[in-house]
Amino acid sequence: MSGISKTYDGNKFVLNDLSFSLCLGEIAIIMGPSGSGKSTFLNILGLLDKASSGKYLFNGNDLCEKRNKKLYSFIRGEKIGFVFQSYYLIETLTVRDNIMMPFLYSDTKITDEIEDHISEYAQLFGVTELLDKKASLLSGGERQRVAIIRAMIKKPCLVIADEPTGNLDEKNGETVINAFRKIAGAGTAVVIVTHNSGINCPEGKRFQLCEGKLHEIK
């Protein structure tokens, strides 16, 4: 994407002529002070919000040219997995149904393989016992891990994670990062926003967001 600008009130530009690109299989780690516009950037990247101006090429689709809501929903459902800063699970559904949610609005067949994946991830993130519990009963850290499984379960091209380790202890945080590295190894592009500069990901490209622009840190 290039030349992305975003303003909420018409005066102050949260993102200003920002450019960013990422290939499949790459990890981008984005840091920046609170209020610098990281979430805003992720929202635009994840097609939840539209930029005030700029160009966005996703997998060969030019997404700023025409406003095609159907295409946006399709890409959100099929190609992008989102981990929100505040998790956003549906409280009344079970953990399993929350994880299955991305399949609800797509034509992808729900195979036994997918069930196996859920069990695998649940095992990996230590939430196996929680699968049939209601989401409202979970702790913050547990929610975060469930949200991560939900984002990854469909093997999207792009996983976007806003503070995915914010509420996790060191050991769980590492498990999560390793899981991201693993799916990147399998060909998914991953964008992570974090305040934790000590994150262990040697192959990740690191970026700093300030004054509405992204600067890569070598």
Partner 1 sequence: MKSNNRFVLYIRNIFVMTKSSKIRFILTFIGILFSVFGFAFALIISDSYFESRRDIYSSFASNSLLISSNQPSEDKINLFLENKNYSSVFIDVISKNYYFIDSFDSINGQSVSITTTLHGVETTEVVSQYDGMHYMPFLSSIKNGRGINWGDIQSKEKTVMIDEYTAELLYGSIKDAIGQSIVIDGGRGLVSEQTSSSPQKHSFIISGVCENSKLTEHNRVENRKKIKKGSDNVIINIDLYCPISTIFDLYPDLDYYRNYIVTFGSQNEANDFYNKTIDTNGNQYGISYIVSKDSLMADITLQMKETKRIIVLGILLLSFIFGISIISVVFFATKERIPEIGIRKAFGAEKLDIVFQIFCEMLLISGLASIIGVFAALYFSKLLEYYLINELCIYFVLNITAGDIVTPIFVGVLQSAIFGMIPGIYGASIPITDALKFE
Ligand X SMILES: Nc1ncnc2c1ncn2[C@@H]1O[C@H](COP(=O)(O)OP(=O)(O)OP(=O)(O)O)[C@@H](O)[C@H]1O
* Helices 140-152, 170-185: inter-axial angle, 10-degree rounding: 0
* Whole-angstrom distance, CA of residue 28 vs CA of residue 65: 25
Nearer to partner 1, 88 or 181 (CB): 88
Q: Which entry of Mg ion, partner 1, ligand X, none binds 76, CB below 5 to 8 A by partner kind?
A: partner 1
Nearer to partner 1, 36 or 43 (CB): 43
- Rounded to the nearest whole angstrom, what is the least distance from the CB of residue 80 to ligand X in the complex? 18
Rule CB under 5 A: is residue 144 a binding residue for Mg ion? no
- Rounded to the nearest whole angstrom, what is the least distance from the CB of residue 157 to Mg ion in the complex? 23
Number of residues that bind Mg ion (CB under 5 A): 2
Binding mask 137-176 for ligand X (x = CB under 6 A): ----------------------------------------
Nearer to ligand X, 30 or 148 (CB): 30
Q: Which entry of partner 1, Mg ion, ligand X, none binds 150, CB below 5 to 8 A by partner kind?
A: partner 1
Check: CB of residue 31 under 8 Å from CB of residue 209. Answer: yes
Cα of first residue to Cα of last residue in the chain, in angstroms, is 20
Site for Mg ion in 85-114 (CB under 5 A): 85
Q: What are phi and psi of 2, to 5 degrees?
A: -145, 150
Site for ligand X in 37-56 (CB under 6 A): 37-40
- Rounded to the nearest whole angstrom, what is the least distance from the CB of residue 55 to partner 1 in the complex? 20
Q: Which entry of Mg ion, ligand X, partner 1, none binds 23, CB below 5 to 8 A by partner kind?
A: none
CA angle, residues 80, 76, 206, in degrees to nearest 5: 35
Helix, strand, coil % (nearest 5) of the chain?
A: 35, 25, 40
Residue 67 half-sphere exposure, CB side, CA atoms within 13 Å?
A: 6
- Rounded to the nearest whole angstrom, what is the least distance from the CB of residue 210 to Mg ion in the complex? 14
H, E, C per residue of 13-47: EEEEEECCCCCCCCEEEEECCCCCCHHHHHHHHCC
